[in-house]
């Protein structure tokens, strides 16, 4: 576990995450939800679609597939940070997000999954 970096990643997680959290138990409302694994993306979308819609407020769910190793996690973190900064600086996220994601796909060589759900 030391050689493949798992212990380092677990130690890092222990420092930045106060406890395990389940999205399904979270009732907070978000504008944007980012996942790093397609399986998790599918679970988030399924959960949001199974909830009773109350406000019809949109939430963008985006997946950036990141392999679970130290190098990919580091590169993925920088990519997600840059993506969030670009989204934050858009004038109209609803209308600009598709174009922005397409630019990031071309720039990074990765495919992003994206869907809009509603609260």
34-65 per-position pLDDT tens digit: 999 999 999 999 999 999 999 999 999 999 99
Is residue 32 classed exposed, middle or buried when 0-12, 13-18 and 19+ CB atoms within 10 A define those classes?
A: middle
Q: Which of 58, 66, 51 has the alpha carbon at shortest distance from 97?
A: 58
pTM of the model: 0.88
Q: Is 14 inside any structural domain?
A: no
CATH of the domain at 70: 3.40.50.2300
Rounded to the nearest 10°, the torsion over CA 79, 81, 84, 89 is: -110
- Which range is least confidently modeled, 1-10, 20-29, 88-97? 1-10
Does residue 9 form part of some domain? no
Structural domain contains residue 79: yes
As a whole number, mean pLDDT of residues 54-79 equals 92
Cα separation, 15 vs 10, in Å, equals 9
Residue 93's domain comprises 22-116
Distance, CA of 22 to CA of 25 (rounded, Å): 5
CA–CA distance, 58 with 39 (Å, rounded to integer): 21
Q: H or E element: which one contains 52?
A: none
């Amino acid at each position: 576990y030391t050689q493949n970096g798992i212990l380092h990643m677990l130690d890092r997680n222990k420092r930045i995450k106060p406890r395990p959290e389940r999205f399904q138990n979270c009732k907070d409302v978000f504008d944007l939800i980012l996942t790093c694994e397609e399986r998790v993306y599918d679970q988030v979308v399924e959960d949001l679609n199974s909830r009773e819609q109350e406000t019809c407020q949109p939430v963008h769910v985006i997946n950036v597939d990141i392999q679970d190793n130290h190098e990919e996690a580091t590169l993925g973190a920088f990519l997600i940070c840059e993506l969030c900064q670009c989204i934050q600086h858009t004038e109209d996220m609803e209308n600009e997000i598709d174009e922005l994601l397409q630019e990031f796909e071309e720039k990074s060589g990765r495919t992003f999954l994206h869907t809009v759900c509603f609260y």
